[in-house]
Amino acid sequence: MEFTQWIRERTDEQLGALVSARPELITPVPAHLEGLATRAGSPSAIGRALDRLDRFALAVVETLAVAGSVDKPALGRLLERAVDGEVPLDDALDRLRALALVYGPDEAPELAPGVRKVLDDPAGLGPPVVEVFRHHPPEQLEEIADDIAPGTEGTGKERLAAAMAEPGKLVEEVSPPARQALEELAWGPPSGRVPNARRAVRVGTARSPIEELLARGLLAATGEESVSLPREVGLYLREGRVHRDLSPEAPPLEGSERSQQLADRTAAGQAFTFVRAVEELCERWSLDAPGVLRTGGLGVRDLKRTATQLDLPEWAAALVVEVAHAAGLVGSGGSVDGEWLPTPAYDTWRVRPTEDRWVTLAATWLHTDRVPGIVGERDERDRLLNALHPDLRRSSAPEVRQATLRVLAAAPGLAPSRESVLRRLAWEQPRRRGPLREQLTDFTLREAEQLGFTGLGVLSAPGRAVLAGSGEAAAVLAPLLPEPVDHVLLQADLTAVAPGPLTSELARWLTLAADVESTGGATVYRFGESSIRRALDAGQGADELLSMLARHSATPVPQPLSYLVADVARRHGRMRVGTASAYIRSDDPSMLDQLIADRRSTPLRLRRLAPTVIASRTSRAALVDSLRAMGFAPVPESLEGDVILTQLDARRTEGLPTARAVSSFNGLDPDVVAAAVRAMRAGDARRAPLEAPDGSVPRGPATTTISALQDAIRQGVRVWIGYLDSQGNATSRILEPARMEGGYLTAYDETRAAVHRFALHRITGVATVT
């Protein structure tokens, strides 16, 4: 039976299952089932399908590729040689048929067209002897055939193929070193490197083990320095087995048992801490934004400073920065000398509940193609990869993260070891093994713990909900989060102790008015002259500061703290800096006298213009910083003479961030699958498109149109619509609506015999089809 005919004979349910499992086959929807069969046999589509197979299903495909046309019992016997126990062949064949990798009757399964070509060295076996010797000169093949099969008839290639069909005699007559060389290639890889592989050698003149093998055709030269073991020889050395050992079941996960409740609480604490770290990052960058490198990344010194400020290791700080960027909370300014600043989206994110904020960050990390773990490594050109560097993207990252977390989800209450997780992933997707995958798996396990996806190595309940794409993740996390407190304990040593996680507003205000001294079970904030001045710069007054402290302190405001606030406020703003390049003005001439007399002001190149005004050639920002370093407390003012307040939310990026998150794929909509199958059936039957009804195209209000389309989707009936094309011309269409979302209608267009998407704003009206 031909593959295309087999596809045609599949039921609509079976075709729907096929395109749901292999969505690339209907992107776009083929015009007919013949086109579907052709696309299913393309190398890229087959490669994607094979990548989805577990070790046992792939072994069934490899066995069919090696054995050729065999019936089901013979296939089972080949697999039994490598399996210790029962072989679940029926289940594997059913899955392979569902993916259209195997077709034909149940008792005589066949590989789909193109599968053999995509498989490179199936089961670690080399090409058949006919293929591996196809580029050898005829005279060389004649010489080999004369040595190993004297007196036989036919061409050199035919005689060689006949002799190699049963290579046992040739293998047994070689020397022990030559036999050992064959054994090293027997279980793969079947190729090796030797110098001068194409040398002319005969059995009688062979002087080395490699020459013995080349002269007898047991090895074939595939390049100037490469050789390959013919498949027939490999199977003989394996004693007829295609695989050495094979397990139809996934390897068990091994690790430490953990209480799920304890793991959930631990993960919730990590989730809360990560959300606060992102918030603190954005607040600090609002005040002191790091610059954007010419390569588009974040400088090494800026990352180190951020790690110190957040009290995190550098890799964890890079994770916070990257997730905030991928979530659209941080972006670069549009100028040449840009800065990394919070985006307007941060202000919206900040006021949401903690559990909702975490779900946003967790889903972003799960689906982004950026890899924070490689920050600090070097690329192929030995260039340093900084945080926020454009080259941190790896297309396989989201898939590896999800596959790793699905492994953890399979073992509730267990913290699997790294080696156990890697073994399970190698069994589930054997074609996707490699150093990068192992590295991405390590990153996933480390970052999942930092984010709160896992607790003590166990997948948490909120993490499981995010992984499943459930909308209940926030509701699951909320009861586990620590209850925020709205008070601190003020102490006489100018510190404030937060006995737990603070409310968002109080934490934001304390970050402005004090510096974090230590974190842990309780966070310690320290008040100082610079932090009080920072709050005053943001528009706070001394009375407001003391009132805020008294309102949120469980203890009276200590006298030293009151004196500190009053002293800094008394000196704050008595001197003002504007633009001359810059100027200084003060209502207190004695203060300006003191400044002029100070030797440290010499580099500022000051000039007295009036008793209360001094001009400087230094920029306003530099002048403010220099005066503060000298012990003064100036404030900047605008050209109109107004004080410039450095509010936390005043500095934001303009426009959208440049980060890109990979959208998750949760399967095709069943309505879209059904419409695609219907369209391919119609095209395969070469059904002529229907004629649109006569008369004027339907017209009506937009609300009526939307309501009518929703009713048609629910009832599964056809409708007649009027539709404006790109030139504004009204056309008639007969549709079977399938889905409506995002301003578009997906439907099967019977007037075109194809699935199309229609912009809702271009639909002029809807009428029923009689």
What DSSP string runs through 456-499?
Answer: TTEE-HHHHHHHTT-TTHHHHHGGGSPPPB--BEEETTTEEEES
Q: Which residue has the higher pLDDT, 345 or 380?
A: 345
Nearest residue to 82 (alpha-carbon basis) of 59, 108, 109: 59
495 forms beta bridges with: 491, 526
**% of the chain residues with pLDDT over 90:** 35
- For 546-552, the CB contacts below 8 A with 24+ separation are 548/509, 548/513, 549/490, 552/486, 552/487, 552/488, 552/506
Specify whether the CB–CB gap between 310 and 277 falls below 8 A: yes
Going by pLDDT thresholds of 50, 70 and 90, the confidence category of residue 518 is confident
Q: What is the pLDDT of residues 124-172, one digit of tens each?
A: 999 999 999 988 888 989 989 998 988 888 888 889 999 988 999 999 9
* b/e burial code for range 348-385 (CB count within 10 A of at least 16 → b): ebbeeebbebbbbbbbbbbbbbbbbbbbeeeeeeeeeb
Specify whether the CB–CB gap between 486 and 552 falls below 8 A: yes
Residue 632 pLDDT > 90, yes or no?
no
- Can the peptide bond before residue 189 be classed as cis, meaning omega within 30 degrees of 0? yes
What pLDDT is attached to residue 629? Answer: 83
Looking at the structure, give the CATH architecture of the domain made up of residues 688-768.
Roll (2.30)
What pLDDT is attached to residue 449? Answer: 96
Read off the pLDDT of each residue in 700-716 and give the average, rounded to a whole number: 84
What pLDDT is attached to residue 661? Answer: 44
Mean pLDDT (the chain, rounded) = 86
Enter the pTM of the model: 0.72
Residue 660 pLDDT > 50, yes or no?
no
Read off the pLDDT of each residue in 332-349 and give the average, rounded to a whole number: 80
Segments making up each domain of the chain, as ranges: 3-121, 129-237, 255-332+354-478, 489-570, 574-636, 688-768
Angle at 137 between CA 133 and CA 138, to 5 degrees: 90
Nearest residue to 330 (alpha-carbon basis) of 289, 370, 360: 289
